[in-house]
Amino acid sequence: MRHSWEIVTRVQSEGDAHPQEDGCGFAGPDAWIIDGATTLLEPLGLPAATDPQWLTQALTTALARVGTGEMSGSLSARDRLAAALRRIDAVAQPLVGGERLRFPSAAVSLAHLDDDGVQIASLADCRVLVQDPEGGVTVVLAEQADGRVDEALDGQLPDPEERLRLLRRDRELRNTDGNLWVARREPEAAQHADLVRLPRPALVALVSDGAWRAVDLGLVGSAEEFLRRVSTPVEALELLTELRREQARIGEVADDATVLVLRPAALD
């Protein structure tokens, strides 16, 4: 059987601090969301507005190539992500050589339809909301990107310089054993992706952490309510507008916010 997705909603809002570094898309049986990590180490000057934006755009292209490839149907979700990261490594080589530590990184979630349902492979903190035919919602999240720094601080309110130092050190340790794995240029990162298998969904929403702030700030009370609020383009735009207004009211620097809602297309 040939599996594919149908679009329901796609909305994006650029944050306050930098150009858009989120991305999302779908091709063939695959759908994905990418949240580029804001640069903390010395930039490489990749050909885009920012290094994370370059990675988001290049990874979107790489994932689309995998989703429409002739052999794509035989690959698992992790293998598909690995194939896309191999492509990133190849196109990065002539631009920055073998540089890895300062190479941009991103959170990514990939949802892959197959005969058994849907596989979701996730690195870091994008969320995937999966609604079953009975209306129940499962939230898939691998790991908060800065969660280890927050744990190290243990609820303290450190000097901003100290927090920045810890965040930079956390970036330097990413994609090494015992630390956070993210989408960068190492294909082996895909084998560290959190993998969840669920029955065939009725609806799937891929959500960046910037959009999930609507839940964190109490604008919606649950994952079920969030999914309902983003299930039409108008309602999704209204929710992101409400979020930006609330962030302005409380003085919060808004992050990029992205929501992609899809349903499985009828089987061929």
SS3 track for the chain:
CCCCEEEEEEEEECCCCCCCCEEEEEECCEEEEEEECCCCCCCCCCCCCCHHHHHHHHHHHHHHHHHCCCCHHHCCHHHHHHHHHHHHHHHHHHHHCCCCCCCCCEEEEEEEEECCEEEEEEECCCEEEEECCCCCEEEEECCCCCHHHHHHHCCCCCCHHHHHHHHHHHHHHCCCCCCCCCECCCHHHHHHCEEEEECCCCEEEEECHHHHHHHHCCCCCCHHHHHHHCCCHHHHHHHHHHHHHHHHHHCCCCCCEEEEEEEECCCC
With cut-offs at 50, 70 and 90, classify the pLDDT of residue 162.
Answer: confident
pLDDT at 115: 95
pLDDT of residue 71 exceeding 70: no
CATH number at residue 114: 3.60.40.10
pLDDT at 144: 87
pLDDT at 3: 94
Of the chain, the percentage scoring pLDDT greater than 70 comes to 97
Half-sphere exposure of 116 (CA within 13 A, CB side): 8
- Distance from the Cα of residue 187 to its chain's centroid: 17
SS3 track for 154-198:
CCCCCCHHHHHHHHHHHHHHCCCCCCCCCECCCHHHHHHCEEEEE
How many structural domains does the chain have? Answer: 1
Cβ-count burial 1-40 (b if 16+ within 10 Å, e if not): eebbbeebbbbbbbbeebebbbbbbbbbbbbbbbbbbbbe
Q: How far apart are CA 50 and CA 43, in angstroms?
A: 8
pLDDT at 202: 98
pLDDT of residue 84 exceeding 90: yes
pLDDT at 152: 72
83's CB contacts (< 8 A; 6+ apart) are 62, 66, 75, 187
pLDDT of residue 245 exceeding 60: yes
pLDDT of residue 154 exceeding 80: no
pLDDT at 70: 59
Half-sphere exposure of 49 (CA within 13 A, CB side): 11
> What would the pLDDT profile of 181-223 be if each residue is shown by its tens digit?
999 999 999 999 999 999 999 999 999 999 999 999 999 999 9
Q: How far apart are CA 127 and CA 69, in angstroms?
A: 26
> What would the pLDDT profile of 2-46 be if each residue is shown by its tens digit?
999 999 999 999 999 889 999 999 999 999 999 999 999 999 999
pLDDT of residue 164 exceeding 90: no
pLDDT at 73: 62
> What would the pLDDT profile of 107-121 be if each residue is shown by its tens digit?
999 999 999 999 999
Higher pLDDT, 208 or 145: 208
pLDDT at 200: 98
- In which domain, by residue range, is 256 found? 5-264
The C-alpha angle 111, 244, 108, rounded to 5 degrees, equals 20
